[in-house]
Amino acid sequence: MGGSYAIIALGYTIIYNGTNIINFAQGEFVMLGGLFMVTLTGKFGLSIFPAFLIAVAATALVGLLVERLAIHPLRNADVMSVIIVTIGMSILLRGIAMLVWGKDAYAAQHFSGDKPIEILGATILPQSFWVIGIMILVVVALQVFYRFTITGKAMLACAVNKTAARLMGVNVENMLMLSFVLSGALGAVAGIIIAPITLAKYDAGVMLGLKGFCACILGGLGSGTGAVVGGLLLGVIESLGAGLISSGYKDAIAFLILLIALFLRPQGLLPLKEMMMRQESH
């Protein structure tokens, strides 16, 4: 679970860094990824790999549409309106998904069989390895993208200072579009790899999205490393808590941690961005 929270959290981070807004439609990207995957593998009989690519691309396209239709027209509005528009978008996407896929929950195909593997006395679904493996892949790929490509560096520049980036010839508008495409794709990846474990349903994105957001806050909003650490930590605490307290309150644990984190350490466990900013100001 932690692995997919981490990927969802990364999606929030990309948009937050690009635009300073919290994208409440992030969970809907996750849901769409899972449902696209179910349709592509089920109805169209595609095998896992091409279905994965098409589902990610389709959700990235949805991300692009969200940016073009809702975020772009509000580029001069205050942050609060933009946050509210993302809430509206999430309701809209959820409603459309309900019309297309209905209210049923779909079981997605496991990537490599659903027979649990026993390791050191613990039974683990093979899908869990896929989740962790793909999460590591995503993190490495993002690092490479941000560090070694011009586009990645330009996006980072936008995150730090939009005006300065524009002066240096970065096309800020394209970067914002790209950040929505990227986080749409990331949301889809998380949705696809988690769907075999949790089932894909039109409203599955709400909880997953909110928990990804908890992970973000836990790790420190705006920090990529924080998002990954927060996501993994949240997954572990949640499953421990579910075992120790009760599974009914499992979902509450994530939000309780969120509140505690906000009260005690609102800058997150890893205040990387702040450190970065402080260095700049010196």
Partner 1 sequence: MKKTLKSDYGILIAFTALVSVVPFMLANKYYISVLIFVAINMIVAVGLNLLVCHAGQISLGHAGFYGIGAYTTAVLTTAHHCPVWVDTLIAVALAALIAWIMGTPTLKLKGHYLAVATLGLGIIMHIVFNEWEKVTGGPSGIVGIPGLSIFGRGIGSDLAYYYLFWSFALLTLLVALNLVKSRVGRAMRALHGSEVAAAAMGINVSGYKVKIFVLSAALAALAGSFYAHYVTFISPTGFGLSFSILLLTMIIVGGAESVWGAVIGSVVLTSLPEFLRGFKDYDVVIYGFILVAVVIFLPAGIIGGLRILKERIGRRGTAESA
| Contacting positions for partner 1 (CB under 8 A) | 22, 69-70, 73-74, 77, 79-81, 83-85, 87-96, 98-99, 206, 210, 213-214, 217, 246, 248-249, 251-252, 255-256, 258-259, 262-263, 266
Q: Is 104 helix (H, G, I), strand (E, B) or coil?
A: coil
Q: How far is the CB of 88 from partner 1 (least distance, A)?
A: 3
Q: How far is the CB of 94 from partner 1 (least distance, A)?
A: 7
Q: How far is the CB of 102 from partner 1 (least distance, A)?
A: 9
157 CB neighbour count, 10 Å cutoff: 17
- For the purposes of burial, counting CB atoms within 10 Å of the CB of 24, is it exposed (0-12), middle (13-18) or buried (19 or more)? buried
CA-wise closest residue to 269 among 228, 210, 209: 228
Structure-derived torsion over alpha carbons of residues 161, 173, 151, 26, reported in degrees to the nearest 10: 90
Q: How far is the CB of 242 from partner 1 (least distance, A)?
A: 12
Q: How far is the CB of 43 from partner 1 (least distance, A)?
A: 21
What distance in Å separates the CA atoms of residue 1 and residue 19, rounded to the nearest whole number? 27
Q: How far is the CB of 44 from partner 1 (least distance, A)?
A: 25
Q: How far is the CB of 254 from partner 1 (least distance, A)?
A: 8
Q: Which amino acid is at 176?
A: L
Q: Is 123 helix (H, G, I), strand (E, B) or coil?
A: strand
Compare residues 83 and 269 and give the one whose CB is closer to partner 1: 83
Question: How many residues comprise the chain?
Answer: 282
Compare residues 111 and 213 and give the one whose CB is closer to partner 1: 213
- Strand locations in 103-245 (E): 117-119, 122-124
Compare residues 88 and 243 and give the one whose CB is closer to partner 1: 88
Q: How far is the CB of 201 from partner 1 (least distance, A)?
A: 14
**CB contact at 8 A, 200 and 38:** yes
**CB contact at 8 A, 52 and 192:** yes
- Strand locations in 69-217 (E): 117-119, 122-124
Compare residues 74 and 156 and give the one whose CB is closer to partner 1: 74
Compare residues 181 and 214 and give the one whose CB is closer to partner 1: 214
What distance in Å separates the CA atoms of residue 158 and residue 34, rounded to the nearest whole number? 31
Cα angle: 33, vertex 35, 40; to 5 degrees: 95
Compare residues 90 and 127 and give the one whose CB is closer to partner 1: 90
Q: Is 113 helix (H, G, I), strand (E, B) or coil?
A: strand
Compare residues 211 and 229 and give the one whose CB is closer to partner 1: 211
Compare residues 106 and 213 and give the one whose CB is closer to partner 1: 213
In sign, the C-alpha dihedral spanning 237, 7, 269, 176 is negative
